[in-house]
Chains A and B, each alone.
Chain A
Amino acid sequence: QQPVQSPQAVILREGEDAVINCSSSKALYSVHWYRQKHGEAPVFLMILLKGGEQKGHEKISASFNEKKQQSSLYLTASQLSYSGTYFCGTVLPGAGSYQLTFGKGTKLSVIP
């Protein structure tokens, strides 16, 4: 079952902050975050594992609330290069944990 992302789209001015949310109706084992620029393949940002700590990647960080089955991606002091579509992907606990299911994406546009 696809995780639900919100918002679907957001427009920011350079330097502003944004939060993208990802939620699931089922218990999660891990959450992935990827960014896809127009015409390119998705690129890995980070993975958050159940029981793990909040991850950070320069000015992009994320948290994982296991009790609420939610993850949030935080983009601070946004840059033009942050524009793109952000996808969360979820893995459910269970044998193998091989299936990764992505949400529909959040389109982020950063303008000067």
Chain B
Amino acid sequence: EAQVTQNPRYLITVTGKKLTVTCSQNMNHEYMSWYRQDPGLGLRQIYYSMNVEVTDKGDVPEGYKVSRKEKRNFPLILESPSPNQTSLYFCASSFGGGLGEQFFGPGTRLTVL
């Protein structure tokens, strides 16, 4: 089954404790991206990757890191999480970058205390 998977689905952590949210897709998409969703603000792009080893900042990259060492994986790293990073995070992938249908993962709900 073609899908985007994210882990963990739910995470509660404390300020400053480094964490990684994994994202994997099995559709051989070259483009992957991360979004955060907050009430009333919609989906805001954090980072995107056009292909392996090629990444770029989205609209809200502060406090996040990403890496793209393999085509199928695009982990999101929070090196020192803060409470304002409490949010619902979605990973997405597509052919054709921003011009292609985006396939979203199920989401990761992160709470930083």
Point out the residues of chain B lying under 8 angstroms from A91, CB to CB.
98-99
- CB within 8 Å for A97 and B98 given contacts A41-B106, A102-B43: yes
Q: Which B residues, 87 to 105, have Cβ-Cβ distances below 8 Å to chain A?
A: 90, 97-105
Are A44 and B102 touching (Cβ within 8 A)?
yes
Are A104 and B42 touching (Cβ within 8 A)?
yes
Are A87 and B43 touching (Cβ within 8 A)?
yes
Are A100 and B50 touching (Cβ within 8 A)?
no
Are A101 and B102 touching (Cβ within 8 A)?
no
Point out the residues of chain A lying under 8 angstroms from B107, CB to CB.
41
B79 interface hit (Cβ, 8 Å): no
- CB within 8 Å for A34 and B99 given contacts A99-B48, A102-B43: no
Are A41 and B105 touching (Cβ within 8 A)?
yes
Are B97 and A96 touching (Cβ within 8 A)?
yes
Are A99 and B98 touching (Cβ within 8 A)?
yes
Are A97 and B104 touching (Cβ within 8 A)?
no
Are B41 and A98 touching (Cβ within 8 A)?
no
A104 to B43, CA, bound (A): 7
Are B42 and A87 touching (Cβ within 8 A)?
yes
- Smallest CB-CB separation from A103: which chain B residue? B42
**Interface positions of A (Cβ within 8 A of B):** 2, 29-30, 32, 34, 40-44, 47, 49, 87, 89, 91, 96-105
